[in-house]
Amino acid sequence: MQLERVRQALLIVLPEVFDIQIKSNEKDEQQLELLTHFGWVRLRDMSLGYQTLVVWLTDFASKLFLRYPDSPNPLEEPAIVLIDEIDLHLHPSWQRKLLGFLSGIFKNTQFIATAHSPLVVQAAGDEGANVVLLQREGDQTIVRQNPIDVQGWRVDQILNSELFEDVTTLSRQTEDDLALRNKLLLKKRLTAAEKQQLAELNAKVAQAPIGDTAPERRVESLLARLARNLKEDDLLH
């Protein structure tokens, strides 16, 4: 019964895992295997993200069973769990869902976790969790309770906020290109070489997608192709 409850909890949390079994190898050693799109795979052969989650979740669940032996469902009993870097080794889509899965399985557990991912912060806002910001000032760490409320924010907006010290979402090369473009635009007179350089930078900036969603990017791509076709028609005539 206990093993089955842990198994069901892992199946909820682990992405693209359809079944879990304990199997003995040739040396009569028990090993955990996960059923994936590629068939049965040993836990030791899975990614570090899978391995880490399975180990600490199983360990935590076993402690709940020991602590609440008479409970009809020890997984829903009170507990406090500290997790350092909960986002470590996890795929972005996994980072967004993990907090919801954990709070759904361990209904009365208080999870206190650190993270360096805006996706985890976004998920925390959606789950109504408290977000605390740790900032270094000299040789001291300052704990800021109740920083800005980012519920409903996009990931890039969270990354650009004080929570991540206004980290830009642009690549270093794009930042350099935009800085040079702005510098050229502010000049009163441009040489022929500078005009050519500005034209190239304008074209480069225009090629960058603006939309955030796949449908928006598809529309931008269609408009770009249409613009190229119209330009080609003008050249032919």
The answer to whether 56 and 82 are in contact (CB under 8 A) is: no
Q: How far apart are alpha carbons 62 and 217 in whole angstroms?
A: 47
pLDDT score of 104: 92
pLDDT score of 18: 93
Fill in the amino acid letter for 165: E
pLDDT score of 160: 87
Element housing 140 (H / E):
strand 140-144
Per-run averaged pLDDT (10 residues), the chain, 237 residues: 86 91 79 92 92 92 93 94 91 90 93 93 87 88 86 87 82 85 87 88 76 58 60 58
pTM, full prediction: 0.71
pLDDT score of 127: 85
pLDDT score of 225: 63
Q: How far apart are alpha carbons 116 and 204 in whole angstroms?
A: 31
pLDDT score of 81: 95
Q: Which two tokens stand for residue 155?
A: 């990931």
pLDDT score of 148: 85
List the one residue out of 72, 78, 130, 76 whose CA is nearest residue 99.
130
The answer to whether 105 and 9 are in contact (CB under 8 A) is: yes
